[in-house]
Amino acid sequence: MIAIENTTLTFNPGTPNENRVFENFNLTVNKGDFVTIIGSNGAGKSTLFNLLAGTVTPDSGRIALNGRDVTKAPEYTRAKTIGRIFQDPLAGTASNMTLEDNMMVCLKKGFKGLRIGLNRARRQFFREQLRFLDMGLEDRLKDNVGLLSGGQRQALTLLMMVLSRPDLVLLDEHTAALDPRNAEIVLSLTTHFVKEYDLTTMMVTHNMQQAINLGNRLLMMDAGEVVLDIGGEEKKNLTVEKLVAMFSDIRNKKFTSDEALLSR
């Protein structure tokens, strides 16, 4: 379970640019939840992920992953149990390393410190995993990842993240930079892996329909607050129009996320 308790975060404190993004922020995510997150511009979605990943440290409050207090834990220690995928398809893999070496790095992470080597059986395992992506990558184990397309790289990043068996998956608009066909492929792989490996997942998207269709819980954020938290039957019956109207009712203002409104 993920718990963020009474957390406050201020950027540039004590300067003219002081910006309190979160004030006594609380959020609990249950094991196995697939939470989609939408929100207006500057709502704090990426900063929420940065707090969870340890990229930023809160002024006060507590962050716990599976019962462990990680509030002060540095990013590199949390990275062992958190899988994060960014919008940039080049960010999750090393261009100048082969597919098999990239995959090995993540497999080692999944074995949590045990010494394992790259042998015939592992190569066969990688081939089988890659075959599932249905992109012909199973025959390219020795190719440098820099030779792959953006869609192939993002699919590989996703697969590698799964190999590391993370306790928490953070998807930060991970299909936004892909063309529609590749975005669809990567999304469908995402839903497959989340279900197959029961991954606790949080996904930021600007595509409101996507946020409605995927996952078991939807959060809408605005100005550092969760203004809507919808699950179960209510989520199944949502529409983009209903969401936008609910937001306006609660906040007494128009929903402002240019990308979200354009992607309807």
**Residues that bind ligand ATP in the complex, under the rule CB under 6 A:** 11-12, 19, 21, 39, 41-47
> In the bound complex, what is the minimum distance in angstroms from residue 135's beta carbon to ligand ATP?
29
State the minimum distance, in angstroms, from the CB of residue 44 to ligand ATP: 4
**What is the chain's alpha carbon radius of gyration, rounded to the nearest angstrom?**
19
Neighbours of 264 (CB within 10 A): 10
Q: Please identify, using beta-carbon distances, which residue of 11 and 197 lies nearer to ligand ATP.
A: 11
Measured CA to CA, the distance from residue 129 to residue 137 in angstroms comes to 10
Residue 130 φ then ψ, to 5°: -65, -35
Give the bridge partners for 130, in sequence order. Answer: none
What backbone phi and psi angles, to 5 degrees, belong to 215? 75, 175
Nearer to ligand ATP, 85 or 163 (CB): 85
Smallest gap, in angstroms, from Cβ of residue 48 to ligand ATP? 7
| In the complex, least distance from residue 212 CB atom to ligand ATP, rounded to whole angstroms | 17
Token pair belonging to 227: 């203004």
Length of the chain in residues, anyone?
264
* 33 or 222: CB nearest ligand ATP: 222
Residue placing its CB nearer to ligand ATP in the complex, 42 or 231 = 42
Using the minimum distance from each CB to ligand ATP, give the nearer residue, 56 or 97.
Answer: 56
**Which of 39, 12, 56, 57 minimizes the C-alpha distance to 225?**
39
* CA dihedral sign, ordered 230, 234, 236, 239: negative
Q: Residue 36 or 47: which CB sits closer to ligand ATP? A: 47
Considering the complex, state which of residue 22 and residue 126 has its C-beta at the smaller distance from ligand ATP. Answer: 22
| Other CB atoms within 10 A of residue 91 CB | 15
- Beta carbon of residue 88, minimum distance to ligand ATP (angstroms, whole number): 14
Cα–Cα distance between 223 and 138 in angstroms, integer? 45
Least spacing, CB of residue 60 vs ligand ATP, in Å: 17
What is the spatial distance between Cα 186 and Cα 179, in angstroms, rounded to a whole number?
A: 11
Kindly state the smallest distance separating residue 255's Cβ from ligand ATP, in Å. 12
- Among 138, 141, 118, smallest CA distance to 127 is for 138
Contact 33, 168 (CB under 8 A): no
The CA angle 37-82-215, to the nearest 5 degrees, is 30
